[in-house]
Amino acid sequence: MYHLQFILNGLIAGSVYALFAVGLTMTYGIFRFINFAHGELIAWGAYGLLWFSGPLLGLPLIWAALPAIALTICIALAADKLVYAPLRHQDRITLLIASIGLSFFLRSLLQLVFGAELMTYGREAGRGWEIAGLYVTGVQAGMGITAVAFLAGLYLLLTRTLLGKALRAVSDNMELAGIMGLPMHRVNRTVWLLSALFAAVGGMLLGLDTSLDPFMGLANLVKAFAAVLLGGAGNVWGALLGGLFIGITENLSVAFIDPGYKDFVAFAVIIAMLLFRPQGIFALTRGEVR
């Protein structure tokens, strides 16, 4: 039962990591580069909720989430228009360096606006429930339900809508999709919108359960990157399973090593995947968002 509690905690944390990983792998599946600034979108989403629920507007958390998500999406769309779009036809190294530079810029801007000290939303975890010997707090329940709802929405978008089919077609072959008349600008905007949406929601859910600091985006980018490598770059559902695996393994490791070292799990997964199966466990034969 002791270990089942860790597995349950890992599933909840892993569902949030899956949100991070899905957003990261979508940009890779379409644009074929790893967006290192994705971590800062996570942080801006979390801090945006703090900002709009506190000194700026004083909204209740559930309503403050809307402008926080809008702010994160605006940052992602501006990054694409001002940084990535002009470099779209350059090699991947150029885009990689640009994303690293943008990550430093957004993190520094975050520190300039909010400072470098730890912050919290000032909310209690809420009452919990004990079911079959397993304990879940109100915050954890909300995290798990919200993450599952957004992932289910993504599934319906990709499998039941014309826009989802367009995203999958562009992921298969961007040039051919453009020749066939698909609205590439709309697809590009949708990818950045979805990526920022999942980053912001994941950041806010994580902020409800932990504290906020300007480097939270970098720490969780590593976990998202590990999940993407585990699931296979460009594979949305592989990234989802990878995120769950990282969350469960990370929490189970607490039973055997010091909790301060649990972030080691993500680094270990990255090293192992790069050494033994760089294409990922659920690798696709062609890059695609599915």
pLDDT given at position 110: 94
pLDDT given at position 92: 82
Residues forming a β-bridge with 119 = 212
Q: Quick one: pLDDT band at residue 1, thresholds 50, 70, 90?
A: low
Q: For residue range 63-113, list pLDDT tens digits in order.
A: 999 999 999 999 999 999 999 999 988 888 899 899 999 999 999 999 999
- Provide mean pLDDT across the span 249-263: 77
Which of 223-242 are b and which e, b meaning 16 or more Cβ less than 10 Å from the residue's Cβ?
A: bbbbbbbbbbbbbbbbbbbb
Looking at mean pLDDT, say which of 125-129, 183-187, 194-198, 273-277 comes out highest: 194-198
pLDDT given at position 78: 96
| 259 or 163, greater pLDDT | 163
- Provide mean pLDDT across the span 30-34: 85
Q: For residue range 243-253, list pLDDT tens digits in order.
A: 998 988 888 88
Q: Quick one: pLDDT band at residue 286, thresholds 50, 70, 90?
A: very low
pLDDT given at position 282: 64
pLDDT given at position 2: 59
Distance CA 121, CA 230 (A): 32
- Please give the model's pTM, rounded to 2 decimal places: 0.89
CA angle 238, 201, 250 (to 5 degrees): 50
Q: Quick one: pLDDT band at residue 123, thresholds 50, 70, 90?
A: low
Q: Which residue has the tokens 């769309």?
A: 77
76: nearest Cα among 39, 104, 101, 32:
39
The domains found in the chain, sorted by start residue, are 2-116+135-276 (1.10.3470.10)
Distance CA 2, CA 206 (A): 23
pLDDT given at position 285: 43
Q: Please, what is the average pLDDT of the chain?
A: 85
**Lowest mean pLDDT across 159-163, 213-217, 263-267:** 263-267
pLDDT at residue 274 tops 60: yes
pLDDT at residue 221 tops 90: yes
pLDDT at residue 125 tops 70: no
pLDDT given at position 287: 42
pLDDT given at position 214: 92
Distance CA 10, CA 125 (A): 17
**Lowest mean pLDDT across 63-77, 130-144, 252-266:** 252-266
- 111 CB-near residues (< 8 Å, 6+ apart): 214
